[in-house]
Amino acid sequence: MGVSIRMLYNLAVGLQMQSYCPKDLSQGNKAAAGSTVTDESVGQKQERKPWAPSFFVKLNKEVFYYAGQEITIREALGSYAGMIWPASLALCHYLDTHREQLNLVDKTVLEIGAGTGLSSVVAALLGASVTATDLQEVLGNLRANLGMNTRGLCRHTPQVAALSWGYDLERTYPSAVHHYDYVLAADVVYHHQYLDELLATMKHFCQPGTSLIWANKIRMVTDLTFTEKFEKSFHTSLLAEDGEMKIFKATCRE
């Protein structure tokens, strides 16, 4: 692949440590990382997909402020899903500062590649009925973060479900049953080989009446290639931009 696992691990940790505050979205309720609590590190290796780091480390608890609430997210570096990524912070900031325009109250929201669940937590706190999805093996941390940050605070109890991109979607998530007002995705395009499956998943869930909001930080040529395919597949508009960070809105081509 040209990139070692150790290099990917170092890159991932470095990206996680970067705080993100969009220049053109910096007014209003800005995300603020709070005090850091260091958890026990675990040096054991676990079997992972070839493109995922093969190290498992419990990282920090990060504290954020969105939707008028203090949100504590526990990270677990066993895969990219265990980290808080810059585009997730950008998406949360956008949802929070554009709550009147989006009006998530009682809207159905699906997040794909939810990871630690931060974006899903914010959407739920803003009144949405949320389903957060990711691979089966990372749902434990996702479920824990959603539960401890939304219990007793939300109109709708958020749900957690397994979703493998591009795999048997019409059977597992039939279009006639699973219709959402919003589909959210943040930093789902990175160093993996499932971009065609990701695009197929976006197409499956972006039905008439659905708005897909995708936040992404451009890092590689593959990001640009995927963006070109994304723009050809949907009616798209650029909601926000700050250098390499972009937030798109898409609707289906009927």
* Tens place of pLDDT per residue across the chain (254 aa): 333 333 333 444 444 434 334 433 433 333 333 333 333 333 333 333 333 333 334 457 899 999 999 999 998 876 777 788 899 999 999 999 999 999 999 999 999 999 999 999 999 999 999 999 999 988 999 999 999 999 999 999 999 999 999 989 999 999 999 999 999 999 999 767 889 999 999 999 999 999 999 999 998 888 899 999 999 999 999 999 999 999 999 999 87
How many other CB atoms sit within 10 Å of the CB of residue 63?
15
For residue 227, which phi and psi values (nearest 5 degrees)?
Answer: -60, -40
Integer Cα distance of 222 and 230 in angstroms: 12
Q: Could you tell me the pTM of the whole model?
A: 0.77
Chosen CATH of 5-252 out of 3.90.25.10, 3.40.50.720, 3.40.50.1220, 3.40.50.150: 3.40.50.150
Phi/psi of residue 104, nearest 5 degrees: -80, -5
* Sign of the torsion formed by the C-alpha atoms of 75, 132, 34 and 13: positive
Query: Which tokens sit at 149?
Result: 């940050």
Residue 251 pairs in a beta bridge with 235
Q: Which residues of 65-87 are buried (b: 16+ CB within 10 A; e: fewer)?
A: bbbebebebbbbbbbbbbbbbbb
Q: What are the structure tokens assigned to 21, written together?
A: 């505050």
- b/e code 192-228 from CB counts within 10 Å (16+ = b): bebbeebbebbbbbbbeebbbbbbbbebeeebeebbe
